[in-house]
Amino acid sequence: QVQLVQSGGEVKKPGASVRVSCTASGYTFTSYDINWVRQATGQGLEWMGWMNPNSGNKAYAQKFQGRVNMTRNTSISTVYLELSSLKSEDTAVYYCARRRTKGYIGPRREREYSFDYWGQGTLVTVSS
């Protein structure tokens, strides 16, 4: 069965960097984009960006430009999220999620974009 397993929780000081891993199994790793989503306590879900594990192509939400980097290691079916210059506001649970499919639907060519499998989440705590 499809699984996304993330690395364990992290505690970091402000200004530091953190790297979270997401290891996929149960499907062809290079066939589906991986996205990252976070949720701070009491807040809603926030999309951070996506990566194509096959090509290495990626794109980030504007809010995180310059601070985020997504990489992958295809030999171990793993995608990494690295976030730098951490602030207390970055304290959140970080999720990786597999994009269900790519493409456009219907005569109006609506973009289909959804996540069918999620990792268990990684709590990153930023505190001095």
Partner 1 sequence: QSVLTQPPSASGTPGQRVTISCSGGSSNIGSNTVNWYQRLPGTAPKLLIYTNNQRPSGVPDRFSGSKSGTSASLAISGLQSEDEADYYCAAWDDSLYAYVFGTGTKVTVL
Q: Which residues bind partner 1 (CB under 8 A)?
A: 35, 37, 44-47, 50, 59, 61-62, 95, 97, 100, 105, 108, 110-116, 118-121
- By beta-carbon proximity to partner 1, the closer residue of 50 and 80 is 50
Amino acid found at 76:
I
Minimum distance from CB of 111 to partner 1 (Å)? Answer: 4
Minimum distance from CB of 109 to partner 1 (Å)? Answer: 9
Q: How many angstroms separate the CA atoms of 6 and 87, rounded? A: 22
- By beta-carbon proximity to partner 1, the closer residue of 16 and 105 is 105
Is-contact 22 5, C-beta < 8 A? yes
Up-side HSE of residue 120: CA atoms within 13 Å toward CB?
Answer: 7
Q: Would you tell me how many other CB atoms lie within 10 Å of the CB of residue 29?
A: 21
- By beta-carbon proximity to partner 1, the closer residue of 38 and 74 is 38
Minimum distance from CB of 39 to partner 1 (Å)? Answer: 8
Minimum distance from CB of 21 to partner 1 (Å)? Answer: 16
Cα–Cα distances (Å) from 117 to 16, 30, 83, 108, in that order, read: 29, 15, 22, 27
- By beta-carbon proximity to partner 1, the closer residue of 27 and 113 is 113
